Structures are given as C-alpha cells and as structure tokens.
Amino acid sequence: MPPQPAGLPSILSLSLLLALVYLFVAVVFVIRRAMDTSGKELARRIEEVAHGRGLAPELTADLVKRHELSGLRWLDVFLSRQAWSRRVDKMLDQADIKAPLGVFVLLSLVFAATGYLGASIYVGNPLVQMAVAVGLGTLPFKWIAMRKAARMKEFERQLPEALELVGRALRAGHTFSSGMGMVVGEFADPIRIEFQKTMDEINFGMGVTVALDNLMDRVDCPDLNFFVVSVKIQNETGGNLAEIVGNIAWLIRERLKLKGRIRVLSAEGRMAAWVLCLLPFFVCGAVQFLNPGYLGLLFTEPLGRMFLYMVGGLMTMGILVIRKMVRIKV
C-alpha cells in the first residue's frame, strides 16, 4: 500500500469540519422554515374575513406591527433581552439589510466554531485558536458595519443636492412636504428610501418635527442633524425656511470639500501607516520562505513566545497611535 501524504489527515479533518458546518446551517434553515407559520396564519385570517366572521379581538390586537430579531422563537426571546442586540439591529436598518439579526448571530457562531476547530488542527496554542475564532466570528458584524458606513457616506454625498432641491421648491411656492416629495422622485437610494419613510409618516398624520426626529434617529449622519434642528427652530420661531435650507446645503458642501482636501493631504501618512503595519509580516513570511525553520524558536521556546506577545502588544499600540494621527475629524 503506497504511503499517504503527511498532510492528508489534516485535510480530511478540515473537509469533515466544513461538511458539518454546512450541515448545521442547512438544519437551522430547515427548522426555521418548518416553524414559520406566518403564511398559514395569514391565510386563516383571510378565510375568516372572507366568510364574514371577522377578526377576533385577540387577533385584532395582534395586527400591531411587531419587529422580530430572529425567525426562531427562542433566539428572538434571547436577543430581545440583550442591550447590544438593539444597537446591532439599528445598524442593520441603517445598512438597509433585510435579514434579521438572528441570521448574523448564528453565522457568527458558525464562523467562530469553524475558526477554532480549524486552527486547532494546525496550531496547538490556545491563544492562537481563540484569536482565529474571535477574528472569524466578528466578520459578519464587520460586514454590517462596512455596509452601514458605505450607505451613510452615500447619503451624506447626496444630502447637499437634496437640500438645494428642497430650497428651490420652497422658493417656487411649494410646501416643505412637497419639496421632500420632489427629492423622493428625483434622487436614488439611500436618500430616496429615508425621505420616503419620512413622507409616509407625515402623510399618516405624524407631525413634521416628530417625523424629522425619526429620520435623524434612523440615519447616522451629523450633517443631517443641522438640517433637522434648523427646521425645528424655524417652526417654533419663524423665518425664511428656503434661505435656511440653502445655507445648510452650502455649509454641508463646503464641509465635504474640506474633508476631501484633508483626505488628500493625509494620504501619504495613511500609506506609510499601511507599510509600517504590514512590513513585519512580509519580512517574517520572506524569512520563513527562504530559510524554513529559522523562526521556529520564536514559537517553541518560552522566551520566544514571550517576545512574540510583547511585540504583538507593541504593534497593536503603534497601530492605534498611527490610526489616531491619520484620522482627522472635520
């Protein structure tokens, strides 16, 4: 019998681990689909109304809109009791992600378990295993934060032009609501979706100031706060709203120009930061490739591991300091 390669057991173990992960995800979705009875409940209610029986009082009370954090009942109850789940759920709304929070929580757990078990196959250090598990477990939430940041940046870019359109509509004799309706009809997402939600709230009888407060709560954009506060002050004290909106649009556009200049001037510092942060890893990789085993003492000897932990802490501190230097708030 020909000898098997040395790495074959590890590859088979990793393949089995991935297969178990995929099986776990499939079982979760099957259970969720089996427990989802909303379609049957809706069909039953429609049948009752069609036959003239109407809705029972308890069913009428259940028509109130409810926001679920997960399709699984036990997970929804658990997440509803956590303080951090409300913040992450708000980030999902700001990122315009339709999937519930429970999907990302289960995905994070699967990633963390996969990272821990996969790292345990190749590395015997528990700290490294936990670091890999934590790193992979945070990937779904990191993706949510990136989606939110990209959407808020696009909203901030569209805001000056949208406010200028509202200002021109006010000068032409239209109402404030009509000006916001023009923004809904002329602009693309994400500002179209957010202004549409505000218009729907106003049309359903909510006050303009309350609807604007809800808009400010939904959107994480400091420039929008200037607009909302100015409109609320104008409603209480009076004044030329068209001129106020136009001035705010000009102020936001100048602020964006200043941010662009600062980003250009700090580009060299950010590039130097990337080089300084990645250079040690490239050097270690090159040394390991040219002379395998040369760095083995750092991982096998207690003194070498102590130096690794100390260097890792110093690098983390240096990265935080450089990040603070190159990130300039306007």
Tell me, what's the pLDDT at 66? 54
Q: Which amino acid is at 145?
A: A
Take residue 314 and report the two structure tokens written for it.
């110093």
Distance separating alpha carbons of residues 276 and 84, to the nearest angstrom = 34
Residue 297 CA, chain-centre distance (Å), reads 41
Q: Tell me, what's the pLDDT at 1?
A: 42
- Report how far apart, in Å, the C-alpha atoms of 10 and of each of 118, 121, 302 are: 9, 7, 26
State the CATH class of domain 156-264: mainly alpha
Q: What is the pLDDT along the chain (330 residues), one digit of tens a residue?
A: 444 444 445 555 666 666 666 566 665 655 555 555 555 555 555 555 445 454 444 444 444 445 566 666 767 677 777 778 788 888 888 888 888 888 888 888 888 888 888 888 877 778 778 888 888 889 989 999 999 999 998 998 899 999 999 888 888 888 888 888 888 888 888 888 888 888 888 888 888 888 888 888 888 888 888 888 888 888 888 778 888 888 888 988 888 888 888 888 888 888 888 888 888 888 888 888 888 878 777 877 888 888 888 888 888 888 888 888 877 776
Cβ atoms < 10 Å from Cβ of 172: 10
Q: Name residues whose C-beta falls within 8 Å of residue 179's C-beta, 6 or more positions apart in sequence.
A: 165, 166, 167, 168, 169, 170
Contact 148, 91 (CB under 8 A): yes
Respond yes or no on whether the N-terminal peptide bond of residue 190 is cis (omega within 30° of 0).
yes
Q: At what angle do helices 267-290 and 302-326 cross, to 10 degrees?
A: 160
What is the helix (H) or strand (E) element at residue 271, kind and residue range? Answer: helix 267-290
pLDDT reported for residue 237: 81
The structural domains of the chain, with segments of one domain joined by +, span 8-58+71-137, 156-264, 266-326
Q: pTM here?
A: 0.68
